[in-house]
Amino acid sequence: MNQQLFDVIKKSLWNSGDAKADEAIFREMTTHTIVPLAAPILPELSLTPELFSAWDDAVVKTVVKYRKYLRQQSSLPVSVPYVILKGTAAAQYYPYPEYRVMGDIDIMTRREDHEKACAMMLADGYTEISEENYKWHREFIKNGIMVEVHAYFAFLNNAEYAKYLDDLIVEHISPSHLLPDLVNGLVVLEHISHHLEDGLGLRQIIDWMMFVHRCLPDEKWLEFRKMAQHIGLEKLAVVLTRMCEIYLGLPERGWCADADLALCEKLMVYILSCGNFGRKETIDGAVYHGNTLTKFKTAKVTFGILQQRGLLNWAAAQRHPILRPLAWLYQVGRYLKRGVFRPHPIGQLKAELAISRQLDALFDSLGVKRLTKGIAEYDEYKKS
């Protein structure tokens, strides 16, 4: 594993040890969307003038985007009660929140207010970009920033788990739009569980680490543990925390001391291989989306993935709505072409199957959701 990367993270967040960085570390941190974390220690990293300038530019762009993000979040045209999820709700635990790279703005309303909130977004000039059958939330965009308005949030292995978390979120909606710390921690933990199978990078892991550092000393663990048990993610919380202690410098605490060290190592190796949400740029410039075979579990799920990726990759379908129902077929062609023309296609397929089995075992050990299981339970949850 990349000890040099870990050293930079430790020095940036905890001011511990020594750290140096080069172009490879810059690229790796870019892949995991954590480049700005090193802003306070840039003069100490022995960078070339060119790399220092590029790194500093990336930090400035992040801070500018953070301020733009804050302005838009503070002026959302939603007057019904809602709460902010992830984003600034996670960044508040960082030493410098403005160095946490922002993505979308996520809010959640009470279910009875959801349609009204979405109508307010449209009336304020937001453009809806979500699919008609989108289940968890509706997506809107304005000024280049996407806003997801959730009626549901949790996506877990059990319908009762999902209901527990969503009810907890709604119960704690307040005029501040912020959740209590422990509930907020459950949201961060569920977000990791939700995306782990697709591939998750270090930014989300560091979100969890900073929450734990600020909010989960030993005396708070028993209270949080009961809540994590209610959503089936106690083991994930323990392994993630011990992993952060081992590799990323999180000060140690007693409640995760007995975590399986081999499982911690396997999880970190997997996270490093994925990059941000399963997107990792390889040396030749290609973008790696994780092990695709782990996702194709049923015909329904396979078709959905092919259709979604086909729409993303087929420019003609984006321009001509009549072609969109055939996007899945276009994506099949892309996979076939890529498979036939890559070196040793049969050998690589066997290797991917082996990796898929290893990842299945890892996810089962952690108790995280499986895509097909989660969809089935989610559909059941919505009926309840």
Same domain for 306 and 376, yes or no, is yes
Same domain, 89 and 25: no
DSSP letter at 279?
B
**Residue in 147, 184, 153 with CA at minimum distance from that of residue 378:** 153
Domain's final residue, options 75, 103, 133: 75
Please check whether residues 308 and 365 belong to one and the same domain: yes
- The pLDDT value recorded for residue 356 is 66
Query: Quick one: 97 and 62 in the same domain?
Result: no
Taking each helix axis as running N to C, give the angle between helix 181-196 and helix 218-230, from 0 to 180 degrees, rounded to the nearest 10.
50
Last residue within a domain, chosen from 75, 92, 112 = 75
Do the domain assignments include residue 215? no
User: What pLDDT score does 371 carry?
Assistant: 52
Could you list the residue range(s) of the whole structural domain that residue 125 is in? 78-152
Same domain, 82 and 52: no
Residues 292 and 359 in one domain: yes
Please report whether residue 251 resides in a domain: no
Look at residue 64 in the predicted model and tell me its pLDDT.
96
Identify the pLDDT of residue 87: 94
Claim to verify: residue 11 and residue 63 sit in the same structural domain: yes
User: And the tokens for 55?
Assistant: 């790194």
Q: Tell me, yes or no, whether 361 and 290 share the same domain.
A: yes
Q: Is 170 helix (H, G, I), strand (E, B) or coil?
A: helix
Angle between helices 23-31 and 49-74 (to 10 degrees): 20
12 and 69 part of one domain: yes
Whole-angstrom Cα distance, residue 46 to residue 378?
50
pLDDT value at residue 57: 97
What integer pLDDT is reported at residue 325 of this predicted model? 86
What residues pair up with 142 in beta bridges, in sequence order? 145
Residues 292, 352: one domain?
yes
| Beta sheet of 127-128, edge-to-edge order | 82-85, 105-109, 145-150, 137-142, 127-128
Residues 87 and 11 in one domain: no
Let me know if residue 61 belongs to a domain: yes
Q: Which residues of 1-11 are buried (b: 16+ CB within 10 A; e: fewer)?
A: eeeebbbbbbb
pLDDT tens, N- to C-terminus, the chain (384 residues): 699 999 999 999 999 999 999 999 999 999 999 999 999 999 999 999 999 999 999 999 999 999 999 999 999 999 999 999 999 999 999 999 999 999 899 999 999 999 999 999 999 999 988 865 556 789 999 998 999 999 999 888 788 898 999 999 999 999 999 999 999 999 999 999 988 887 889 999 999 999 999 999 999 999 999 999 999 999 999 999 999 999 999 999 999 999 999 999 999 999 998 865 444 433 233 333 444 544 555 566 667 667 766 776 787 877 788 887 888 888 888 767 665 555 555 555 555 555 667 788 888 889 886 554 455 555 666 666
Query: Strands 145-150 and 287-288: what pairing?
Result: unpaired
Can you tell me the distance from the alpha carbon of 195 to that of 103, in angstroms, rounded to the nearest whole number? 15
Domain count, the chain: 3
Asked which of 75, 102, 133 is the last residue of a domain, the reply is 75
> Is residue 247 in some structural domain?
no
Give the whole-angstrom CA distance, residue 309 versus residue 331.
Answer: 7
Which residues sit opposite 50 in a β-bridge?
A: none
Residue 67 belongs to some domain of the structure: yes
Residue 227 maps to a domain: no
Q: Are 361 and 304 members of one domain?
A: yes
